[in-house]
Chains A and B, each alone.
Chain A
Amino acid sequence: SYALTQPPSVSVSPGQTASITCSGDNLGDKYVCWFQQRPGQSPVLVIYQDNKRPSAIPERFSGSNSGNTATLTISGTQAMDEADYYCQSWDKTAGVFGGGTKLTVL
């Protein structure tokens, strides 16, 4: 079955740029969404169709997808961005989530 692989953890200093990767076979041929999940809260969509931002999401969140890797980039990372992040895509008719990446802002 199709799998999406994310690093378990990423650390970033406040104000710096955080990059979270998501890898899968020919992932660049598929659309990718990214979700933020803070502790005890439901997931929130932050990027859809590879690089589009919902209106309520700050501009510092951006996405890209090419080859076998999709990347979520957070510019000027803030303490409030500390959370788990999940990528998601589709393998034919089956939804697939990555294993999640814990972003630590320190």
Chain B
Amino acid sequence: EVQVVESGGGLVQPGGSLRLSCAASGFSFSTLWMHWVRQAPGKGLVWVSRVNWDGSGIDYAESVRGRFTISRDNAKNMLYLQMNDLRVEDTALYYCAGSPNFDYWGQGTLVSVSS
């Protein structure tokens, strides 16, 4: 059974940091691209970042480049998103998703940025 479980969300002040984690099982995690996708309350899906199977290929959305860092640990089947210099507009439900076609999604972890 495929399981994708995000954690690490919470309430943080503007300028603060959070580290999101994603635990994956039931599929070939170490061979697939993995993504972070976010969804602000009542809004649509927005792609945030992706990492290839061995971590050597990484891409970011323009809105988070330089502030967010994606990484993975294939030995633990874990995906991470280090988020620094958080802004109010980063408030969203953050989903971890597995490729090749965003086939596998978690339930999301909520990040709220507010003073």
Would you give the shortest CB distance from B79 to chain A, in whole angstroms? 15
Contact flags A31-68 to B (C-beta < 8 A → 1, else 0): 00101010000111100110000100000000000000
Task: Please indicate the chain B residues that have their CB under 8 angstroms from the CB of A94 in the complex.
Answer: 47, 59, 61-62
Q: Could you tell me if B107 and A42 are in contact, using CB atoms closer than 8 angstroms? A: yes
Task: Please indicate the chain B residues that have their CB under 8 angstroms from the CB of A42 in the complex.
Answer: 95, 105-108
Q: Could you tell me if B50 and A95 are in contact, using CB atoms closer than 8 angstroms? A: yes
Binds B, one of A9-17, A18-26, A70-78, A96-104: A96-104
B26 within 8 A of A: no
Q: Could you tell me if B45 and A86 are in contact, using CB atoms closer than 8 angstroms? A: yes
Select B47's contact among A44, A45, A96, beta carbons within 8 Å: A96
Chain B residue with the shortest CB-CB distance to A95: B47
Per the bound structure, the CA–CA distance linking A49 and B99 in Å amounts to 12
Per the bound structure, the CA–CA distance linking A99 and B46 in Å amounts to 9
Per the bound structure, the CA–CA distance linking A84 and B107 in Å amounts to 16
Task: Please indicate the chain B residues that have their CB under 8 angstroms from the CB of A1 in the complex.
Answer: 62
Chain B residue with the shortest CB-CB distance to A40: B107
Select A93's contact among B45, B59, B103, B105, beta carbons within 8 Å: B59
Per the bound structure, the CA–CA distance linking A86 and B45 in Å amounts to 8
Task: Please indicate the chain B residues that have their CB under 8 angstroms from the CB of A84 in the complex.
Answer: 44
Per the bound structure, the CA–CA distance linking A49 and B97 in Å amounts to 17
Q: Could you tell me if B102 and A45 are in contact, using CB atoms closer than 8 angstroms? A: yes
Per the bound structure, the CA–CA distance linking A48 and B102 in Å amounts to 9
Per the bound structure, the CA–CA distance linking A106 and B61 in Å amounts to 37
Would you give the shortest CB distance from B42 to chain A, in whole angstroms? 11
> With A1-B62, A42-B95, A43-B95 known to touch, is A97 a contact of B46 (CB < 8 Å)?
yes
Residues of B that sit less than 8 Å from A by CB: 35, 37, 44-47, 50, 59, 61-62, 95, 97, 100-103, 105-108
8 contacts between A and B (CB under 8 A): A35-B102, A42-B95, A43-B45, A94-B47, A95-B37, A95-B47, A96-B47, A98-B44
A-B pairs, 5 with minimum CB distance: A95-B47, A48-B101, A100-B44, A93-B59, A42-B105
